Amino acid sequence: MFYHDNKLQYKVRVDKPNPVFANMLQQAIGGIEGEIRVCLQYLFQAWGARGPVKYRDMLLETGTEEISHIEMLATAVALNLEGAPLSLQEEMTKDKVIGAVMGGMNPRHVLSSGLAAMAVDANGNPFNGSWVVGSGNIAADMYANVMAESTGRVLATRLWEATDDAGMKDMLAFLIARDTMHQNQWLAVLEELGGLKGMHPIPNSFPQSEEHQQFSYSFISTSIDGNTQAQGRWSAGQSMDGKGEFTFDPAKPFGDEPMLGPPDPRGHAQTEQMTGAADGGLMDKIKGAL
Amino acid sequence: MFYHDNKLQYKVRVDKPNPVFANMLQQAIGGIEGEIRVCLQYLFQAWGARGPVKYRDMLLETGTEEISHIEMLATAVALNLEGAPLSLQEEMTKDKVIGAVMGGMNPRHVLSSGLAAMAVDANGNPFNGSWVVGSGNIAADMYANVMAESTGRVLATRLWEATDDAGMKDMLAFLIARDTMHQNQWLAVLEELGGLKGMHPIPNSFPQSEEHQQFSYSFISTSIDGNTQAQGRWSAGQSMDGKGEFTFDPAKPFGDEPMLGPPDPRGHAQTEQMTGAADGGLMDKIKGAL
Amino acid sequence: MFYHDNKLQYKVRVDKPNPVFANMLQQAIGGIEGEIRVCLQYLFQAWGARGPVKYRDMLLETGTEEISHIEMLATAVALNLEGAPLSLQEEMTKDKVIGAVMGGMNPRHVLSSGLAAMAVDANGNPFNGSWVVGSGNIAADMYANVMAESTGRVLATRLWEATDDAGMKDMLAFLIARDTMHQNQWLAVLEELGGLKGMHPIPNSFPQSEEHQQFSYSFISTSIDGNTQAQGRWSAGQSMDGKGEFTFDPAKPFGDEPMLGPPDPRGHAQTEQMTGAADGGLMDKIKGAL
Amino acid sequence: MFYHDNKLQYKVRVDKPNPVFANMLQQAIGGIEGEIRVCLQYLFQAWGARGPVKYRDMLLETGTEEISHIEMLATAVALNLEGAPLSLQEEMTKDKVIGAVMGGMNPRHVLSSGLAAMAVDANGNPFNGSWVVGSGNIAADMYANVMAESTGRVLATRLWEATDDAGMKDMLAFLIARDTMHQNQWLAVLEELGGLKGMHPIPNSFPQSEEHQQFSYSFISTSIDGNTQAQGRWSAGQSMDGKGEFTFDPAKPFGDEPMLGPPDPRGHAQTEQMTGAADGGLMDKIKGAL
Amino acid sequence: MFYHDNKLQYKVRVDKPNPVFANMLQQAIGGIEGEIRVCLQYLFQAWGARGPVKYRDMLLETGTEEISHIEMLATAVALNLEGAPLSLQEEMTKDKVIGAVMGGMNPRHVLSSGLAAMAVDANGNPFNGSWVVGSGNIAADMYANVMAESTGRVLATRLWEATDDAGMKDMLAFLIARDTMHQNQWLAVLEELGGLKGMHPIPNSFPQSEEHQQFSYSFISTSIDGNTQAQGRWSAGQSMDGKGEFTFDPAKPFGDEPMLGPPDPRGHAQTEQMTGAADGGLMDKIKGAL
Amino acid sequence: MFYHDNKLQYKVRVDKPNPVFANMLQQAIGGIEGEIRVCLQYLFQAWGARGPVKYRDMLLETGTEEISHIEMLATAVALNLEGAPLSLQEEMTKDKVIGAVMGGMNPRHVLSSGLAAMAVDANGNPFNGSWVVGSGNIAADMYANVMAESTGRVLATRLWEATDDAGMKDMLAFLIARDTMHQNQWLAVLEELGGLKGMHPIPNSFPQSEEHQQFSYSFISTSIDGNTQAQGRWSAGQSMDGKGEFTFDPAKPFGDEPMLGPPDPRGHAQTEQMTGAADGGLMDKIKGAL
């Protein structure tokens, strides 16, 4: 169950409002690298957690923290929109730099939200629930979380570079630090779960004897001319999970040409697909083969 | 540049076509854990690769391999749809088990594709390009790839459990093996890039002196009653990146109550939002504060 | 800022797990009538609130409560999925009723989430941020909220009818009660803001003298044969906002035939669109008119 | 059944074409507040209307009128795109103000539509059928309609402020007037259906004796520090539906800690989730409790 | 401008309501092959038409007719949902065939629309405005229209096969006939615009001297083993547009290996991407080449 | 199965990087007219091909070629982003033309991809799998392909006009030539399949005797005032498929007013919808009619 107070987790100050930066910040709210995604991802993982309770509890804690991050960023967007231009004529008659600003704004910040944050990314794409990963396999989920905090911290550092507003840099320096912690946090779970050699291949509960093991540690090169530079740690030596040896092998087909049956007449393909009239008997060959 | 032959990478055989399983297989084609996603993800990462060429080349190789996996799965879907029921009356008059089958089919396999695979998942959601992650930071991308191959392998083992068709189990045993390799492959890159201590926090090119370091290794507990079980490797001891010590700290606000300016009259809020008539002078307080 | 404890707002009990009902409950989580929508809607309205502080605070309170509702429903989904069938053969060899069940399940509850809730609706459509309405006009937003709680309560009563599980009926009886309150709550704001005559037309800050008032209270009938039964409170008498008299008027055009310019050659329309060769001089007429 | 003539419902004149305003107008066509949404919403409500015929007929009338509004706006977009820049070099060598213009244009107005309107909003998001609300409950639907006309009129007044083109202001003054009428029209239905006390809680056909009535009129405050300003009409006094008394109550949990079963082995969670090895026996506690 | 009467274009009768067929019919309403798509497509093409007026008028006529088709199908969906099961217990206790039915229903027909049509397809995917094609090039648009009516007629014949309800077969026989006409209609425009030799390559207003003509009529075979059967009318003889001769050529690269610059430090790639430490000097080669 | 080399199909050179043009190029990658769409469309048509093998093989060849086109365009995007501005201050203090540039850029090219291409269009809309058409009817599919190559070539010529970069014009001149070929290629299949008279109406396997033939070649005019100019090849003379004569007929209804049953009480419509209290007995009329 959830509670709140009416303060922010960390202070949000905008010295010089900038509606173009407001739009950029939307990526950290409603984007695939953003805070709504991690918030819902950690909460859904918690709510569906089967297994040790401590992981569920930890996910619940950090999922709750992320709501506070959305709040900070939404506040930052609103503050960056203070005094934003609301009309085209205002744009065109004043300093032309403002003209450039309007080009980089999200027009829906004027038209749809009345100068407030929305649940969208920096292209105006709405937040999409398909980004919320919770697989029921905790190791896979922890990688999803490390990945989310890694792309999230990359995003935050780019936002930090994009602005010279001291207030915004201060807020982002807090969020960047939290991303540092959260990367470490999910990695700590991965260590507890057995580390590389204990966890992989994920899921580690599937018996590897059932997979076709001659393909389990082979780097398959699809290059037709042998002119590849794709050699590295992955093409020789012990595999990362300690269960095999890497090899480097040229691609070749182990299967045959696929052969589907003729169309069912009630599916209303063209008659020519069913009679073979168009291809000089090839159709008969198909039918013969089935 | 790309080439093909007309064979399959591995054989695809369906002993007993099952249109419900055809629908399940769609998750491995057009789902977020599926092969279109990894195919485009590795190729876009390759095409945008800046830095060492060998990573670009490796991504290109494996991205190309994944096209062959889409092809195998699309073939498997078509073969599972051979003889699928095309009419409701056929359903109802024959064995009632078939009635159950039609409920679990994707009706668009009949209506839209004529008994062939589509670029959708097992709920009929179309493949979505937002799932294709390529951040320009190779470590973040490798985690995205490990995550994709982990949820992908979890999916493949669940498909393996869901069917007792020997042909399908054989094909999945091949794909599961390839996912084993690909998990190892991306992990190998992460080792080459410095391992946990060298890579993290990602991006490692941002100076940590610029982040607010008192928050960088603190597990923040949002639990209001102290009744949490969220202690573990992440709440004490050296951080995974070797750059700090984990602590466990109760959440508290470091910021103030946010305070936005009044609405711009041209944004046409309600008059009462602008005059404060509705709240006995609270609005004046806002205006005073700005 | 946000906090949590590890209990549920109201008890969630499932007497007889039913994976088909699990799928139905998803509508109340990730659907347009669902709890993620109202949660984010109230929170975003709070975070963007300009004007009286009490409305912001109230939105923050109820937005926070809604997180607890998502949690309850997500728990209910997971409990309804306990023991769900994981394989097709299991289905077919046992009681045929189970076969029917699998048809009504969401296969991604098996394949993607491992028997847990997802951020999707009952068709597997992912939650979509475009549903989060916050216009910056508080009266419009309150109507969005009344509407959300009305369709939400309709949904909850339908779920209540669909199940005979006593635990689920108990949980829904709680959620239905909360929807009752929330409808009343947003209506109370609308009364405070002036009621029908004070609030409308929304936004009430736009001077009605600027709109074309001969069309402001006219019911326009597009029926070509006068054979309409569309008479009612809206076709005569004082308007609801007290600012006009309803009339009932047949539709007629007040504008002319639209006339666009010819294609810009660099936009590469077909040559025939630019020369008018295809229509015996009609193109010349267009050009002449411009 | 539907008919047309080749005139516009109201005249559409653009004195000074502006491709940035063309993009803004798209919000009123394909946006969530736009005319395609209300058009389809009213028509689908009509086509699914069960109950009094006059509401169906009224919805059909106004749904038909809205097609004419899409037509007016699509014409306005095309006229605002007359003479829009088609090449970047044109931009850069002429007046820099034009450079600003191109930044605010939708590039797909050049690339995809050849200077014509599209079924998208001002961010280029395609119109989405999920926005079309028709619940089968006429009161809920009427609120959806009041809400749509309220956010729609807010949008139209913002577009009116954004332009100083006399032709566009004239067209918008017509559309704003129609939104005035349509707000009043749906409110009139709500009055006919019984007004606040007769209609609520929606649906009024569900027996309130079945809901948990101790929660039906309670404002639940999730604030942890009692420092909320969220008091108002909704926290004391008779409820709006006349069926209860508002109270103001602090949030507290009425449920227990949720407890899910262990993972099904065939769902391939990590082994550690199933054995409890990772958490010192917590797993056993779970198993014991089930 | 648009008008209506309250009759249907053609009679809609359902002899034996079937909620599974109701779901299938949704494909013809809100699917990519469906009527909302063609309706909006023809109307948007009309509203953006530049060039001969007669094409605009024709598009307006047929776009208007399509609204009547949506109406017929929406009515058919509602009629097929009469008496549909609203509860799971009802399902399980009665005839098991009904159990199968519920699996094939759209649960949102119960939960969201109250037994009425929605703006979605047979998988519950909402109608998507991106499907509305209007390119500004009339020949391209006519092909989009032929294609829409072809996939639409294929869909309608499959629906006709899927049902044995005489009323539904009658309605579909009408819609199939209209699709016949509309295919012919758009083909007639293509003939008027010059036929194959006059129209192609589309756009015919781009000077072919500017394209690299050695590639304009070459079938490029990407097959690596020469084992292709892809010979036909397209691999030899005069091209369809009469402007070249088809040839059959093996694929080969005409470009070099792509070479991107190193990462900008402010974009926060990993340090190893910028220093080349990880690949033994390959990075220096890149830098040298730029 | 698929292979690659590490060269490009045609050279990609950017003389003067332009991040606004990079954004425009995205339309040709991830847009509905773009290369991901045709690539997957041809491949999925091949993988689902039932009937003559040579069409499957041809589709496989050209689908493979299209991967190489995505690669070229992705490379072009990355090259156009070299040196793009990464911060707002950089923008504002230098030449104002750069300010205009940033307005036209995709901010996610900085924030999300680190100056590389993404799987999105020029509005940032992610690629959508619903655009991949494969109907199982080869004639319908060939029209889908002609249409895709026609809108694709229109797009490419507009991009050619938008830039004066010689390298980009050279690359586009190659792609335009390939679109010329591909239009011709799909048209050649259509000729082989019987041409207009043999193929239409599509599907040609449905017996026309089953459709309501009095409507099969009638142009239905929905114009209420007879003031239409919609006469042409389609309104008189032999139909294009040679199977009928075109006529021009005014629209009139052949169906009755639709009449749905009353709401099921468990669907929780408003009480007034079920009792008819609100409309003076109209409801009774409905019930009487059923």
If one counts every other C-beta atom within 10 angstroms of the C-beta of residue A282, the result is 17
The residues with which A4 forms a beta bridge, in sequence order, are C2, D223
Candidate from D49, D105, D205 with C-beta closest to F260: D49
Tell which residue, A141, A208, A217, has the closest CA to residue B185: A217
Question: Element (H or E) spanning D158, and its range?
Answer: helix D138-162
Strands (E), E200-279: 218-221, 237-238, 245-250
Q: Report the pLDDT value the prediction gives residue D275, as an integer from 0 to 100.
A: 78
* % of chain F beyond a pLDDT of 90: 86
| Cα(C15)–Cα(B288) distance, integer angstroms | 57
In angstroms, what separates the C-alpha of E116 from chain A's closest C-alpha?
26
CA atoms of D114 and D98, how far apart (whole Å)? 19
Taking an 8 Å cut-off on Cβ atoms, the answer to whether C126 and A126 are in contact is no
What's the DSSP call for residue F129? Answer: G
Q: Which of B161, B262, B279 sits opposite C87 (nearest CB)?
A: B161
Residues of B with CB under 8 A from a CB of D: 154, 157-158, 161, 224, 229, 232, 266-268, 279, 282
With pLDDT > 70 as the criterion, what percentage of chain D qualifies? 90
Say whether F173 and E128 touch across the interface (CB within 8 A).
Answer: no
Question: Which chain F positions have a beta carbon within 8 Å of C282's beta carbon?
Answer: 229
Q: Residue D234: what pLDDT?
A: 97
Indicate if the pLDDT at residue F97 is higher than 60: no
* Radius of gyration of chain E measured on its C-alpha atoms: 27
Confidence check: pLDDT of F206 > 70: yes
CA angle D137, D140, D143 (to 5 degrees): 145
Closest Cβ opposite residue A158 in set E157, E158, E268: E268
pLDDT of residue E273: 93
Task: Look up residue E231 and give its DSSP letter.
Answer: -
Query: Do residues F178 and D103 touch, judged by C-beta distance below 8 A?
Result: no
SS3 content of chain D, % helix, strand, coil (to 5): 55, 5, 40
Tokens read off for B177 = 């093996």
With b for 16 or more beta-carbon neighbours within 10 A and e for fewer, the A87-111 pattern comes to bbebbbeeebebbbbbbbbbbbbbb
Question: Mean pLDDT across the stretch A24-47?
Answer: 98
Confidence grade of residue D88 (pLDDT, cut at 50, 70, 90): confident
What band does C76 get if pLDDT is binned at 50, 70 and 90?
A: very high
Are F134 and B111 in contact, with CB atoms under 8 Å apart? no
> Residue E162's closest CA among E71, E12, E254, E28?
E28
User: Residue for token digits 């005569």?
Assistant: C236
Q: Is the pLDDT of residue F281 over 60?
A: no
Chains with at least 3 CB pairs less than 8 angstroms from chain B: A, C, D, E, F
Instruction: Tell me what pLDDT residue B290 has.
Output: 46
Chain E residues whose beta carbon lies within 8 Å of the beta carbon of residue B124: 121-125
Task: Copy the structure tokens of residue D122.
Answer: 């001002």
Q: How far apart are CA F158 and CA F152, in angstroms?
A: 10
Q: Which residues of F touch E55 (CB under 8 A)?
A: 232
Q: Is D75 within 8 Å of E47 when comparing Cβ atoms?
A: yes
Give the CA distances from residue C135 to residues A116, C141, D147, E97, in Å, rounded to whole numbers and listed in that order: 8, 6, 11, 48
- Comparing A86-100, C115-129, D227-241, which segment has the lowest mean pLDDT? A86-100
Q: For residue range B173-184, list pLDDT tens digits in order.
A: 999 999 999 999
A205 to D265: CB separation less than 8 angstroms, yes or no: yes
When CB atoms are compared, the residue of E151, E191, E251 closest to F140 is E151
Q: Is C120 left (phi over 0), alpha (psi -120 to 50) or beta?
A: beta
Tens of pLDDT along A127-151? 999 999 999 999 999 999 999 999 9
Tokens of C250: 């047949």
CB-based contact B268 D229, cutoff 8 Å: no
B-chain residues near E228 (CB < 8 A): 6
Q: Which residue of C has its CA nearest to F280?
A: C232
Name which of F7, E139, D99, D255 is nearest C269 in CA terms: E139
Which tokens sit at F224? 């209420």
Query: Is the alpha carbon torsion for E226, E228, E229, E232 positive or negative?
Result: negative
Inter-chain contact A180–B216, Cβ cutoff 8 Å? yes
What fold, for A19-197?
Ferritin (1.20.1260)
Return the closest-CA partner of residue F24 out of F101, F86, F82, F104: F104
The reply to whether residue F223 touches residue D92, judged by beta carbons under 8 angstroms, is no
CA dist C228 and C209 (Å) reads 32
Q: Answer whether residue D290 shows pLDDT above 50.
A: no
pLDDT(F60) > 60: yes
**Coarse DSSP helix, strand, coil percentages of chain C, rounded to the nearest 5 percent:** 55, 5, 40
CA D102 to chain centre: 29
Q: Per mean pLDDT, which range of D243-257, E13-27, E226-240, F273-287 is the poorest? A: F273-287
- CATH 1.20.1260.10: which residues of chain F? 19-197
Structure-token pair, residue A111: 């038209």
pLDDT tens digits for range C253-263: 999 999 999 99
Is C290's pLDDT higher than 50?
A: no
Extract the tokens encoding A73: 């960023």
- Give the closest of D161, D229, D267 to B266, CB-based: D161
pLDDT by residue (tens digit) across D20-62? 999 999 999 999 999 999 999 999 999 999 999 999 999 999 9
d(CA A171, CA A79): 13
pLDDT tens digits, B117-169: 999 999 999 999 999 999 999 999 999 999 999 999 999 999 999 999 999 99
3-state secondary structure of C3: strand
Q: Parallel, antiparallel, or unpaired for β B237-238 and C2-4?
A: unpaired
pLDDT of residue C103: 82
Cα angle vertex B111, ends B105, B117, to 5°? 65
Beta bridge partners of E2: D4
Cα angle, residue E47 at apex, residues E42 and E48 outer, rounded to 5°: 100
Q: Where are the alpha helices (DSSP H) in chain E?
A: 19-30, 35-47, 53-80, 88-93, 96-104, 107-111, 138-162, 166-192, 195-199, 271-275, 282-289
Q: Is A57 annotated as a binding residue?
A: yes
Contacts of residue D111, defined as CB under 8 A and 6 or more positions apart, other chains included, come to F24, F27, F31, F122, F155, F158, F159, F162
Distance CA A146, CA B63 (A): 22
Please name which of C64, F161, F216, F55 lies closest in space to residue E153, comparing C-alpha atoms. Answer: F216
Q: How far does Cα A185 stand from its chain's mean position? A: 19
8 Å CB contact between B279 and C54: yes
pLDDT (tens digit per residue) in F207-244:
999 999 999 999 999 999 888 899 999 999 999 999 99
Q: Do B97 and C96 count as a contact with CB atoms less than 8 A apart? A: yes
Lowest mean pLDDT among B195-204, C6-15, E83-92: E83-92
The C-alpha of A226 sits at a distance from chain E's nearest C-alpha, in angstroms, of 14
Query: With contact defined as beta carbons under 8 Å apart, do C138 and C32 qualify?
Result: no
Separation CA B190–CA C74 (nearest Å): 35
Angle between helices C35-47 and C53-80 (to 10 degrees): 160
Q: How far apart are CA F277 and CA F262, in angstroms?
A: 13
Residues of D in contact with F222 (CB under 8 A): 2-4
Residue F70 has pLDDT above 90, yes or no: yes
Are D157 and C206 inside 8 Å of each other by CB?
A: yes
Is residue D57 marked as binding? yes
Q: How far is E136 from chain F (nearest CA, A)?
A: 9
Q: What chains are in contact with F, requiring at least 3 Cβ pairs below 8 Å?
A: A, B, C, D, E
Residue among C208, C232, C264 whose CB faces D188 most closely: C232
- Report the share of chain F in percent with pLDDT over 70: 90
- pLDDT of D246 higher than 50: yes
Partner-chain residue, chosen from B47, B87, B103, that has the shortest CB–CB distance to E161 = B87
Say which residues have a Cβ less than 8 Å from residue E126's Cβ, sequence separation at least 6.
C125, D128, D129, D130, D131, D132, E30, E119, E120
Spatial separation of the C-alpha atoms in residues D80 and E214, rounded to whole Å: 40
Helix F138-162 and helix F166-192, axial crossing angle in degrees, nearest 10 = 160
| Interchain contact, F119 vs B1, CB within 8 Å | no
Q: If residue D218 lies in a helix (H) or strand (E), which one and from where to where?
A: strand D218-221
**Which tokens sit at C177?**
């009660």
Q: Was B69 annotated as part of a binding site?
A: yes
Sign of CA dihedral B258, B262, B264, B265: positive
- What distances in angstroms separate CA C14 from CA C75, C164, F290, one per listed residue? 10, 11, 40
How far apart CA B186 and CA B202 sit, in angstroms, is 16
Return the residue matching tokens 């559309």: D175
pLDDT at C125 > cutoff 50 = yes
Q: What stretches in chain E show pLDDT beneath 70?
A: 90-100, 102, 276-290
pLDDT at D89: 73
- Beta-carbon separation of A113 and C48 below 8 A: yes
Min CA distance, C223 vs chain F (Å)?
11
- Per CB-CB distance under 8 Å, the chain D contacts of B266 are 158, 161
Residue length, chain C?
290
pLDDT at residue number D280: 52
Q: Which two tokens stand for residue F6?
A: 């590490």
Please tell me which of the candidates F96, F122, F125 has its beta carbon nearest to residue D111: F122
CB atoms within 10 A of CB F167: 17
Residue D103 banded pLDDT, cuts 50, 70, 90: confident
Q: Number of helices (H) and strands (E), helices first, in chain D?
A: 11, 4
Task: Please give the average per-residue pLDDT across C207-230, as a whole number.
Answer: 95
B95 near B7, Cβ under 8 Å? no
What number is the average pLDDT over the span B243-256? Answer: 97
Q: Which chain D residue's Cα is nearest to A121?
A: D123
pLDDT digits (tens, 9 = 90+) for F247-257: 999 999 999 99
Whole-angstrom CA distances from D206 to C171, C180, D238, D239, F175 are 16, 11, 21, 18, 63
Nearest CA in chain A to D263: A50
Determine the straight-line distance between the first and last CA of chain D, rounded to whole angstroms: 60
Collapse the DSSP code of E52 into the 3-class scheme (helix H, G, I; strand E, B; otherwise coil) and give the result.
Answer: coil
Q: Which residue has the tokens 């670009």?
A: B56
Whether residue B91 is annotated as binding a ligand: the answer is no
Provide CB contacts within 8 A for E194, sequence distance 6+: C272, E204
The percentage of chain B sitting over the pLDDT mark of 70, rounded to a whole number, equals 90
